Amino acid sequence: MDLLTPELGLFFWTLIAFLALFFILRKFAWGPILSSLGDREKSIADSIATAERVKGEMAQLKSENEKLMTQAREERTLMLKEAKEMKDRIINEAKEQAKAEANKIIIDAQQQIQQQKMAALTEVKNEIGSLAVAVAGKILRKQLSAAEGQEAYMQMLSEDIRLN
Amino acid sequence: MYLKRLFPLLILVFGLSASSFSSFAQGEETHAVAAAEGHEAAGEEKKEGINITELVFGHVSDSHEWHFFSLKGADGHETEVAIPLPVIVYQPGKGLQVFSFSKFHHGGWYLDADGNKISHTTYNGLYVEKNMKEKIKAEDGSVVYDLSLTKNVISMLISVIIILWLMTSAAKKYNTSAIKAPTGFQNALEIAIIFIRDEVAKPNLGHKYMKYMPMMLTVFFFIWVNNLLGLLPGGANLTGNIAVTLCLSLVSFVVLLIRANKHFWGHLLNPPGVPTGIKFLLVPIEIISLFIKPVALTIRLFANILAGHIVILCVVSMIFIFGALSKVAGVGFVPVSLGFSLFMFTLELLVAAIQAFIFTNLTAVFIGQAIEEGHGHEEGHGHSEAAAH
């Protein structure tokens, strides 16, 4: 069949056209296109890898931050607690001290009061004694100012002496 | 590869349309010239001046002029609207001749004994013989090498220009911008290029695929663009021409032969682990299978595209066949025929891309077999030998 026999001319021109197309395209089209396609794919892959890495780093940073925050929070709580304890302790100590001081003062005051009281009592006693002596002296002076009184007294004294 | 199964279907459709027509034609009691081919007999309808065989094969075969249509004047004289193309012939002893095909235009045709149309006009001792093909022959019967820029060649040159323009303009964008998102036509092109790279080259050619990418891409786009150009009305049936497909497959075969490594030749000529007696049987088969590869490539593309063209032409021609029976039948058949041809055109659009892909893919498979390093294979053989012992 005629259709199945290839013509020389068309074969010849096809060969030339195809080879020319091949060599021209290889140099001016496929080379640049394929290489920049490869470059682009590589850069996209790199970018994705970098993004992944950065994401990982970010996550790590975030978790570290979280950790730091928790730590700080814990520390704060601890400090607050300590401060509170210290405050309580100081207040308690002060209270204790004040109480002791007050007791001491009270005791001192009581002692002093006692002393003063005793002194006062002694003074009162002395005063009373001297007053009594004075009174007795006055009475005696009064009684002895008169002659019969002196005689009666001398008698009484002599009776005492006799008696002795 | 289901499309391979489509080809018989197309033949069937074609056969049915032809045979259904032939029964009509016989009913018309035409004086059909008895011919060897069944469908040729069907095409011979002299009464209305329609020769479907000539029409169909005139469209699918190469020509020395780019024919668009015929105008029938009021006086019944037909004027052909066609661009005559340059004829380049080489005759040993006479040298190279370049002239326009219009030199043969005056004078008309006569039929010779074999049913060939012969031009009345001769030019420098050359005449044209037309049957399914258009041949330029010498009157003295000497050999004529016809290197004319025929319709197919011109169509191919146009496709080459189109491809060059598309690809280099796209490539410029890559040159100028370092790394940028693709824009416009670049996007469409990249899909095809990446498809060829990832689906054809990488799986078949192994790690050396980059070396073969320019060839794969050129083959793919050359076939695809020419398939599509062939579908245009008035376009040339380039990829449905066996010379073109033979040339393409021979190119890939030569690449295969050059690139084939020792491992490939070793397995081909001296298959390891095969008894000597069987080798005498196996080696010829292997050698035949090697040469079958380009033949398969040639026939597959040629037959697929040619069949598509013939079916479309037949479906369209049916309008005129029925019109020749009666005007009503012709007009009535228009929607049916248009529907069929629309379906065929969309199918052919698909086939254009698929056949380009298949050709490229098979080329890659064949070359991939030839350049295979064969580490996995050796191991496999080792195992089978061990099992045999």
Q: Are B218 and A26 an interchain contact pair (Cβ–Cβ within 8 Å)?
A: yes
Q: Please report the pLDDT score of residue B267 as a whole number.
A: 86
Whether A20 and chain B come into contact, CB under 8 Å, resolves to: yes
Separation of alpha carbons B339 and B284, rounded Å: 50
Q: Considering only CB atoms, which chain B residues are within 8 Å of A25? A: 163-164, 167-168, 214, 217-218
Measured from the Cβ of residue A4, the count of other Cβ atoms closer than 10 Å reads 9
Phi-psi bin for B184: left (phi > 0), alpha (psi -120 to 50), beta? left
Distance of CA A122 to the CA centre of its chain: 58
Q: Are A33 and B179 an interchain contact pair (Cβ–Cβ within 8 Å)?
A: no
Does residue A68 carry a pLDDT above 90?
Answer: yes
Whether A164 and chain B come into contact, CB under 8 Å, resolves to: no
Does residue B388 carry a pLDDT above 60?
Answer: no
The alpha carbon of residue A3 is apart from the nearest alpha carbon of chain B, in Å, by: 7
Q: Are B246 and A6 an interchain contact pair (Cβ–Cβ within 8 Å)?
A: yes
Best probe of the B interface among A16, A25, A26, by most B CBs < 10 A, is A25
Measured from the Cβ of residue B185, the count of other Cβ atoms closer than 10 Å reads 12
What mean pLDDT, rounded, does chain A reach?
89
Please, are residues B241 and B302 in contact by the beta-carbon 8 Å criterion?
Answer: yes
Q: Please report the pLDDT score of residue B136 as a whole number.
A: 86
Separation of alpha carbons B282 and B269, rounded Å: 9
In this complex, the residue of A4, A7, A20 whose CB is nearest that of residue B146 is A7
Name the percent of chain A in helix, strand, coil, to the closest 5: 95, 0, 5
Residue from B85, B346, B357, B62 nearest B231 by CA: B346
Q: Considering only CB atoms, which chain A residues are within 8 Å of B305? A: none
What mean pLDDT, rounded, does chain B reach?
80
Separation of alpha carbons B309 and B322, rounded Å: 20
Q: What is the mean pLDDT of residues B261-265?
A: 88
Q: Are A17 and B157 an interchain contact pair (Cβ–Cβ within 8 Å)?
A: yes
Does residue A156 carry a pLDDT above 80?
Answer: yes
| Residues whose CB falls within 8 Å of the CB of residue B128, separated by 6 or more in sequence, listed in order | B64, B104, B118, B119, B134, B135, B136, B137
Q: How far apart are the first and last CA of chain A?
A: 198
Best probe of the A interface among B62, B242, B295, by most A CBs < 10 A, is B242
Q: Considering only CB atoms, which chain B residues are within 8 Å of A3? A: 57, 60-61, 132-133, 242, 306
Does residue B48 carry a pLDDT above 70?
Answer: no
Secondary structure (DSSP) of B57-93: HHHHS--SEEEEEEEE-TTS-EEEEEEE-EEEEEETT
Does residue B380 carry a pLDDT above 60?
Answer: no
Helix (H) or strand (E) holding B126: strand B126-130
The alpha carbon of residue A49 is apart from the nearest alpha carbon of chain B, in Å, by: 17
Residue from B72, B65, B67 nearest B49 by CA: B72
Residue B328 tokens, joined: 């009503």
Torsion angle (degrees, nearest 10) of CA B303, A2, B156, B341: -50
Torsion angle (degrees, nearest 10) of CA B48, B49, B53, B55: -110
Q: Are A18 and B163 an interchain contact pair (Cβ–Cβ within 8 Å)?
A: no
pLDDT in tens, A31-45: 888 888 888 889 889
- Look at B78 and B35; give whichever has higher pLDDT: B78
Q: What is the mean pLDDT of residues A67-86?
A: 95
Q: Please report the pLDDT score of residue B112 as a whole number.
A: 82
Q: Considering only CB atoms, which chain A residues are within 8 Å of B154? A: none
Separation of alpha carbons B256 and B266, rounded Å: 15
pLDDT in tens, B125-157: 888 888 778 888 888 888 888 888 888 999 999
Q: Which of B107-116, B247-256, B380-389 has the highest mean pLDDT?
A: B247-256
Q: Which residue of A has its CA nearest to B295?
A: A4
pLDDT category of residue A60 using cuts at 50, 70 and 90: very high
Separation of alpha carbons B28 and B33, rounded Å: 14
Q: Are B164 and A25 an interchain contact pair (Cβ–Cβ within 8 Å)?
A: yes
Whether A37 and chain B come into contact, CB under 8 Å, resolves to: yes
pLDDT category of residue B49 using cuts at 50, 70 and 90: low
- Look at A51 and B80; give whichever has higher pLDDT: A51
Q: Considering only CB atoms, which chain B residues are within 8 Å of A7? A: 62, 133, 146, 241, 243
Q: Are A30 and B133 an interchain contact pair (Cβ–Cβ within 8 Å)?
A: no
Q: How far apart are the first and last CA of chain B?
A: 39
Does residue B11 carry a pLDDT above 70?
Answer: no
Residue from B24, B376, B61 nearest B243 by CA: B61
In this complex, the residue of A9, A17, A43 whose CB is nearest that of residue B179 is A43
Whether A82 and chain B come into contact, CB under 8 Å, resolves to: no
Q: Considering only CB atoms, which chain A residues are within 8 Å of B215? A: 22
Q: Which residue of B has its CA nearest to A24?
A: B164
pLDDT in tens, B269-316: 888 888 888 888 889 999 999 999 999 999 999 999 999 999 988 888
Please, are residues B359 and B303 in contact by the beta-carbon 8 Å criterion?
Answer: no
Whether A17 and chain B come into contact, CB under 8 Å, resolves to: yes
pLDDT in tens, B185-206: 888 888 999 999 999 999 998 8
pLDDT in tens, A87-134: 999 999 999 999 999 999 999 999 999 998 899 889 888 889 898 888
Does residue B6 carry a pLDDT above 70?
Answer: no
Q: Is B37 helix (H, G, I), strand (E, B) or coil?
A: coil
Least confident segment among A69-73, A141-145, B161-165, B358-362:
A141-145
Q: Are A9 and B247 an interchain contact pair (Cβ–Cβ within 8 Å)?
A: no
Does ipTM come in above 0.85?
no
- Domain definitions of chain B by residue range: 63-148, 151-388
Q: Are A9 and B210 an interchain contact pair (Cβ–Cβ within 8 Å)?
A: no
Q: What percent of chain B has pLDDT over 70?
A: 81
